[in-house]
Structure 1
Amino acid sequence: CSGPRGSSAQRGPHPSAFTPVNGYLNGYLRQETPPSFPGNARRPGPCVPPPPSPPRAPLAPPAGPGPHPAPIPLDFDISSPLTYGTPSSRVEGTPRSSARGTPVRQRPDLGSVRKARQVDLHSDGLAEDTVATEQSLGQKLVIWGTDVNVASCKERFQRFLQRFIDPLDKEDEDIGLDLNEPRYMQRLQEINVVGEPFLNVNCDHLRSFDENLYRQLICYPQEVIPTFDMAANEIFFDRYPDSILEHQIQVRPYNALKTRNMRNLNPEDIDQLITISGMVIRSSQLIPEMQEAFFRCQVCAFTTRVEIDRGRIAEPSVCKNCNTTHSMALIHNRSMFSDKQMIKLQESPEDMPAGQTPHTVALFAHNDLVDKVQPGDRVNVTGIYRAVPIRVNPRVSSVKSVYRTHIDVIHYRKTDSKRLHGVDEETEQKRFTEERVELLKELSKKADIYERLALALAPSIYEHEDIKKGILLQLFGGSRKDFTHTGRGNFRAEINILLCGDPGTSKSQLLQYVYNLVPRGQYTSGKGSSAVGLTAYVMKDPETRQLVLQTGALVLSDNGICCIDEFDKMNESTRSVLHEVMEQQTLSIAKAGIICQLNARTSILAAANPIESQWNPKKTTIENIQLPHTLLSRFDLIFLMLDPRDEAYDRRLARHLVSLYYQTEEKMEEEYMDMAVLRDYIAYARSYVNPRLGEEAGQALIEAYVDMRKIGSGRGMVSAYPRQLESLIRLAEAHAKVRFSDKVETVDVEEAKRLHREALKQSATDPKTGIVDISILTTGMSATARKRKEELAQALRKLIQSKGKAPSLKYQQLLDDLRAQSDIAVTKEMFEEALRALADEDFLTVTGKTVRLL
């Protein structure tokens, strides 16, 4: 469409301001002298030329004498298309009544030009001010720069809302809907009941119903979405005239077919509707953005309002009342603002090309979409791709030729149906319909539900039933208890598990499975992680140039699970940050003037390999994996995954692995529980089941703890600490959640005790005596080793005293003498430990190769 030519540009305004268009648009219209348009109208990229129009009826003959029908409007308000010419709907504070009184809220996500000019599709100039029939009017007029005919677009979208049915649709949003009835009419009924004035429209449905309308939506979202708003509101208020809404309905399209990898976005996509996916890594604070400026003349106090136009507000240079130049002052507290938030979205690992670093894109969310997503969430974002110029200098109006891009968000959708559902999602109640809840409760009543759920977890990994049960209880978690108001503090509900053992025993496979299952999971490797990468680091924001806190893996996995592989290869400074997280569930930061405490209510699932590559059964767990005992004692369960080197086991394992390759999908589905049921089961239990300790269960826990302490007391060993009792409580609560029970019972305590005992049998057994000794994990040394060390120090003391009053002794001579009289093999390390013990008692001192008595 080209700009105006000839005498049409000198046309004066028409006296009529409010005119119906084709029976549909009774909008707030304005006639004015049309400005000259640039010859290069906005090109929609690959979306033009539009498909040929269907054959039309002949146009009406030129008007003769007689009454004139309404003239053709050349402008219509598209940034807020629902004003309907009613003064009440433009006044702030209008009471919420019916369609005409429901206030309109502007859409900063569209950012469209205030007035959209309509032109004649079949002529070179603007539509003449001649009389035309409604039929010809509806066929000829399109919005300038597009092929969008408002009346036709609205009519087709209304037809889509009233008629679209997809009985095969199986989306989460469709739960509770009758799939044999018009889907979106049921959605409008929901809006009437719930009162949330937003209609989410699946672009895939629109494409299957009307291909051309879908193309127009993708190419010209700024013009088409307001028309959709208008159509949806007409249907809604015709059907529910007495409905009270906060503001008129806004249509939010999602799931556009033009789903792009964010690194493939290019200038062709500017001002078009796109859908991209990724993970939120940072979100800013709320930013107020001016939508309508209020100006007052300093001379005559005349006031006027100016609306935002593509991010700019044109300040009036002349007062319309007294004609004084540069007398208008902005009054901030009378202006209108909207909420805005900047969000950084990072590319998903599966979308990344080989050898590339993750790509990020900036998003801007407005109004209700502010704070809808948090760092760590994986989302599909539908929005309009924008390009804005960069100023050379803030004080100068000149701009650079390189533009900065961002996306104005229209719709968020949390993704990855393979993962568990989040705890605090708004759609949680919609997801669990009465039928689904009944099914889950029927499952919970089965006697073997615990075993069935454990088998459904990582079915491709052979055996390791107890380890799978431990991870299952970690997924359910305990009951969170907050007693800060009584001064008793906070008790963590998260369960921490460490897997250690021989290489090739599917430790990393289990970690990957859990990471792909939980909604806010993070996966990291010990050698590739730094202390700040796990916690938080301070960086300078490239746009505001201010210091901001960028969160790490532990904070991003808040309310989720952080999987750490190669745990033993972490350096000491990186491991030290885990102490606070694993017990207090918080992360304290004091860097660059930023002092804060972040929540890190995350479960840790870690995997470690032995230092000798093969597990040495003659050494303790701490000697095998070289981890500090202060860290090991914070793990609730420590499992060993050893290679048994047994021919029968090897044959069974090989048969299982081979069967995975030739088994059909149908057979595998028959054997294992449906993954969707497993996800819903865990999500429902985490959201709605909060078991509390009963009297009997409390007594059973006390007995279990006392028994554990008794085992070692006779031999001078410590076989349990209070931390082990807290672990038992958490495991018992998680087992009660598996049964959907609101009360922890004795059976839960028994299973927690059994699982805890199995883990200790493997990880806390003294290799010298074969007895469980919790001291190995809590102090780093078994009671037997401690006793042997004390006995050797006493023997050395007696040996030195037997030498008489010699002031000094030779180091090697003393070692040889001790070896000669000892009935056990004394190593050099044992001898040095005995010397250090005596030196601590101020009995002797070692200088070089000489031992001097004090």
Structure 2
Amino acid sequence: MSSRGSSGSRRSSRSKRTPEKTQVNGSEKSTPKRAKRSDSPFGKVSENGSTKSPSINSFDSTVGPASKRTSELSSGNRKSRSITQGILSDPLNLSSPLHYGSTDTQFNASQLSGSNRSHISSYKKRVDIATDSRFVRQINISEAIDGENVPAVGAATSEQSDSSTAPQLVIWGTNVSISNCKGKFKTFLRCPDFDFETLDSDELQPQTQMDLESVPAEKKKPLYLQKLDEIYTLEEPFLNVNCAHVHQFDIELYHQLINYPQEVIPTFDMAANELFFELYPDAQLPHQINVRPFNVIKTSNLRTLNPEEMNQLLTISGMVIRTSNLIPEMREAFFECINCNWNTTVELDRGRIAEPTTCQHCNAAHSLRLIHNRSQFIDKQQIKLQESPENMPAGQTPYTILLMACADLVDAVHPGDRVTVTGIYRATPMRLNPRKQTVKSVYRTHIDVVHYRKIDNKRLHDDAKECNFTASRIDKLKTLSKYDDIYDRLAFALAPSIYEHEDIKKGILLQLFGGTRKEMSLCTNGERTHFRSEINILLCGDPGTSKSQLLQYVYNLVPRGHYTSGKGSSAVGLTAYITKDPDSRQLVLQTGALVLSDGGICCIDEFDKMSDSTRSVLHEVMEQQTMSIAKAGIVCQLNARTSVLAAANPVESQWNKNKTIIENIQLPHTLLSRFDLIFLLLDPQNESYDRRLAKHLVSLYYRSREEEEEEMVDMGLLKDYIAYARSFIHPRLSEAAAQRLIHDYVEMRKAGSGRGQISAYPRQLESLIRLSEAHAKVRLSSVVEIVDVEEARRLHREAIKQSATDPASGKIDISILTTGMSSSFRKKRAEIAEAIKHLLNTMRSEDGSQEHHQFPYQTVFNALKESSSIMVTKEMFDEGLRYLQDERFLVAFGGKYIRLST
């Protein structure tokens, strides 16, 4: 009895929601009563443009008679329905404006082939532009007005409807017609006014219609039709559209795209798919073509984002500082009745599932359960974007913003990348507690990513995929490489405002090219190891010798480059540190400058002023190219394949030629030995040099801009040349070059063996190999020849001559860099130690009863100074005592006493 009563009440409640029938234009039309958003997933339906229509992203039927629509709207079953022909019975195809957006990756290629694409019953909305259904604008289905011809649904703008009652779809609250928008974009794709040279251009000048008769046959095909050809060939269904092209084609269409991206971009998807399958009816794609607009003309800044730009398409630039792990996010929940196995799907609304309470088949209450393995999930990733250092106002900290990337855009960028992001600006309320639905009145903003662009026109190209060199550009680079003086030309183009220092510029030029990365398989466990190909350079010298300017120039040129100063850097700032993520409230690893410079150059100024703990982290990075972390339960090894360009000043503010480099800059020899090249930049204090330098500096202020540009090499050509060599040239040693390297290394070892000195170590041989490979890249040669080895040997010998010359003997002694002291100093230390030993034995024999064999420190020092024929300093005396302590002649020595061993 109670069950019948409940069933009857349910029937009664359903009957109350039955639409009323009214007369519209002489025909019966059903008008459903207004329902709340939570009651119906289809929004609010309007009549004659006066009431609201269903959401375009949640509508699931074609446009037909009102009675047909209301019968479907009143039905609670969200399962797929059969599609009738035409507006009433035509099978659903890609031209239906009520079924647009991209499919998810679960559709296979056969589902989107040209032969059966018209039989797909539904399409998934694009996940990268519809992350929150609160921002979905509804579509107004308005009737034609008194015989006025309105474009038919799904037709191009040039086609007019024969029926005066054909409905027209417009974006809610606007007069933007979906069909007109789609037709314009189809015309845009066929427009021949654009070419590949302007595809990635940030600014375009207005152009007139091209004369097709004057264009060669191979260039007559429009740019975006060529891009559709690439999609057909590569089967990568993504179409990148330059918004500057859209603005040049139709300003009105451009503003519609900027102001209503969530509705217009899927319309572009429809047009692109229709045109694609018209051109290639037998094509098969993994999913529907996604249009990805980029390069919004008004590029926003992180500091200028305001609520007026909410839900609009914008472009911002910055540097990626953190990326999250892959996050699976549910997009569509699958429910099944435990009684009758009836099932339904529910799309998530604001991250929550509107769980159905009643089975529409058996009318059982609370009988539906969520089936996780049949629900649909997408990949999602959170990216933290920071304001670029060059865009920050003076004296202010950088701004950050959160990016949301979905599906194919996951893992498209990595920490350290400088990117230009195009996306939709969003705002979501903050929750008081993650486990409660209560939200604050404060909103947190983020950007739903639509397009990434990692090209930075001011820097070198970072990846071979980004080096889109045309055939003419490659021919020009190869022609330039055949010049005999190409090496000198490129070195002259590097930092032209800095006077002389040719060898130092050549060394930095070879650092920009880098060596060839080599990997070797380990037979024991199948792992692979690699040899370092990056070149490290240290610049030392007097203040005011342009060391910092060279670092700044390189930092502004290379990709993934970072600039830091010794005093302002800590060990965790260079490597990595643990912090709590404000979004996930979990401990995450925040990478530092060395890890973010992976694949680039890390410029460290004031290298001598770093603390010992900070410098200690560089040992592993500069040789093994990795960074091992074990903090707060996070144990990992990060890649730090970066070149280090450092600058250091002497401790006495002026270089002392009577001291070694170790004594001048007070750096550990274990760190200095990891630099391939160490150059000295000294002030010669020569009148002729001073005159030439002053003339050069003054000329920078009075010469005209035209004269400067005539002498300077095209920087765009220099960047392309280095980028092409880094990406496509990987030279290998020839037999003659290998034998020459072996001969030079043996000769370097022989040079110091007669004097008891070591003038070369295996690290010097590896440095010669890297420099030879870099010089071969300068010539765009895939083989290292003898000429490359000779230049590498000359440059290395010049650097060694400056940094490893013994001031006492005037000869090159590589042990200064490897052990911290020269051979002459070791010999003098041994002599002083022997004199101290003889003196202490004499003093002990004279006073054999002295307790513990202790002698006053100052007494022994004074006695040695009086008896020695050479000047003995306190440092030399202490070195002699340490030598005797290593020989176990002394037990210990302090500030007051010297204690002998028994």
**TM bracket (short chain):** 0.7 to 0.9
Give the CA deviation at 1:77. Answer: 12
What's 1:53 paired with?
none
Tell me, in whole angstroms, the C-alpha distance in 1 between the residues paired with 2:510 and 2:317: 31
Tell me, in whole angstroms, the C-alpha distance in 2 between the residues paired with 1:587 and 1:438: 40
What's 1:454 paired with?
491
What's 2:11 paired with?
none
What's 1:646 paired with?
686
Give the CA deviation at 1:229. Answer: 1.1
Please point out which of 276, 279, 293 is paired with 1:253.
293
Equivalent residues in 2 for 1:233-632, closer than 5 Å: 233-424=273-464, 426-428=465-467, 431-486=468-523, 489-632=529-672
Give the CA deviation at 1:500. Answer: 0.7
What's 1:784 paired with?
824
Answer whether contact 2:110 2:285 (CA < 8 A) is retained. Answer: no
Tell me, in whole angstroms, the C-alpha distance in 2 between the residues paired with 1:699 and 1:71: 80
Q: Deviations over 1:526-559 (max 9, x none)?
A: 1111111111111111121111111111111111
What's 2:156 paired with?
none
Q: Deviations over 1:677-727 (max 9, x none)?
A: 221221221122222222221221111111111221111111111111111
Q: Deviations over 1:137-184 (max 9, x none)?
A: 78965221333211111122222222251469545589x997765322
SS at 1:704's partner residue?
helix
What's 1:116 paired with?
138
Tell me, in whole angstroms, the C-alpha distance in 1 between the residues paired with 2:589 and 2:173: 44
Give the CA deviation at 1:637. Answer: 0.4
Tell me, in whole angstroms, the C-alpha distance in 1 between the residues paired with 2:599 and 2:460: 12
| Structure 1 residue identity aligned to 2:186 | Q
Distance 1:561 1:230, change over 3 A: same
Distance 1:619 1:848, change over 3 A: closer
Residues 1:830 and 2:876 aligned together: yes
What's 1:34 paired with?
45
Please point out which of 739, 742, 747 is paired with 2:779.
739
Tell me, in whole angstroms, the C-alpha distance in 2 between the residues paired with 1:88 and 1:649: 69
Tell me, in whole angstroms, the C-alpha distance in 2 between the residues paired with 1:310 and 1:449: 60
Please point out which of 98, 106, 113 is paired with 1:97.
113
What's 2:10 paired with?
none
Tell me, in whole angstroms, the C-alpha distance in 2 between the residues paired with 1:134 and 1:261: 49
Distance 1:663 1:245, change over 3 A: farther
Tell me, in whole angstroms, the C-alpha distance in 2 between the residues paired with 1:816 and 1:90: 88
Tell me, in whole angstroms, the C-alpha distance in 2 between the residues paired with 1:542 and 1:38: 45
Equivalent residues in 2 for 1:683-762, closer than 5 Å: 683-762=723-802
Tell me, in whole angstroms, the C-alpha distance in 2 between the residues paired with 1:254 and 1:392: 36
What RMSD, in angstroms, separates the aligned Cα atoms of the two structures?
A: 3.7
Give the CA deviation at 1:600. Answer: 0.7
What's 1:658 paired with?
698
Give the CA deviation at 1:295. Answer: 1.1
Tell me, in whole angstroms, the C-alpha distance in 2 between the residues paired with 1:848 and 1:89: 76
Q: Deviations over 1:597-624 (max 9, x none)?
A: 1111111110111111111111110111
Distance 1:847 1:173, change over 3 A: closer
Give the CA deviation at 1:313. Answer: 3.5
Please point out which of 97, 106, 110 is paired with 2:125.
106
What's 2:185 paired with?
157
Distance 1:489 1:259, change over 3 A: closer
Tell me, in whole angstroms, the C-alpha distance in 2 between the residues paired with 1:376 and 1:39: 52
Report the TM-score when normalising by structure 1.
Answer: 0.86
Residues 1:806 and 2:847 aligned together: yes
Give the CA deviation at 1:419. Answer: 0.9
Distance 1:31 1:657, change over 3 A: closer
Tell me, in whole angstroms, the C-alpha distance in 2 between the residues paired with 1:72 and 1:258: 44
SS at 2:190's partner residue?
helix
Q: Deviations over 1:359-412 (max 9, x none)?
A: 111101111111111111111101011111222234433321111111100011
Please point out which of 240, 248, 251 is paired with 1:211.
251
Tell me, in whole angstroms, the C-alpha distance in 1 between the residues paired with 2:105 and 2:596: 44
Answer whether contact 2:49 2:143 (CA < 8 A) is retained. Answer: no
SS at 2:420's partner residue?
strand
Unaligned runs of 5+ in 1: 1-7, 18-29, 43-68
SS at 1:264's partner residue?
coil
Give the CA deviation at 1:236. Answer: 1.7
Give the CA deviation at 1:745. Answer: 1.8
Tell me, in whole angstroms, the C-alpha distance in 2 between the residues paired with 1:668 and 1:181: 41
Greater shift after overlay, 379-388 or 708-717? Answer: 708-717
Give the CA deviation at 1:436. Answer: 2.1
Tell me, in whole angstroms, the C-alpha distance in 1 between the residues paired with 2:129 and 2:312: 11
| Structure 2 residue identity aligned to 1:109 | D
| Structure 2 residue identity aligned to 1:436 | R
Answer whether contact 1:99 1:237 (CA < 8 A) is retained. Answer: no
Q: Deviations over 1:827-848 (max 9, x none)?
A: 2222233233334333345476
| Structure 1 residue identity aligned to 2:860 | L
Greater shift after overlay, 646-655 or 840-849? Answer: 840-849
Give the CA deviation at 1:734. Answer: 1.1
What's 2:15 paired with?
none
Unaligned runs of 5+ in 2: 1-17, 30-40, 54-84, 154-159, 203-215
What's 1:797 paired with?
837
Answer whether contact 1:474 1:603 (CA < 8 A) is retained. Answer: yes
Distance 1:94 1:442, change over 3 A: closer
Answer whether contact 2:338 2:369 (CA < 8 A) is retained. Answer: yes
Tell me, in whole angstroms, the C-alpha distance in 2 between the residues paired with 1:346 and 1:213: 31
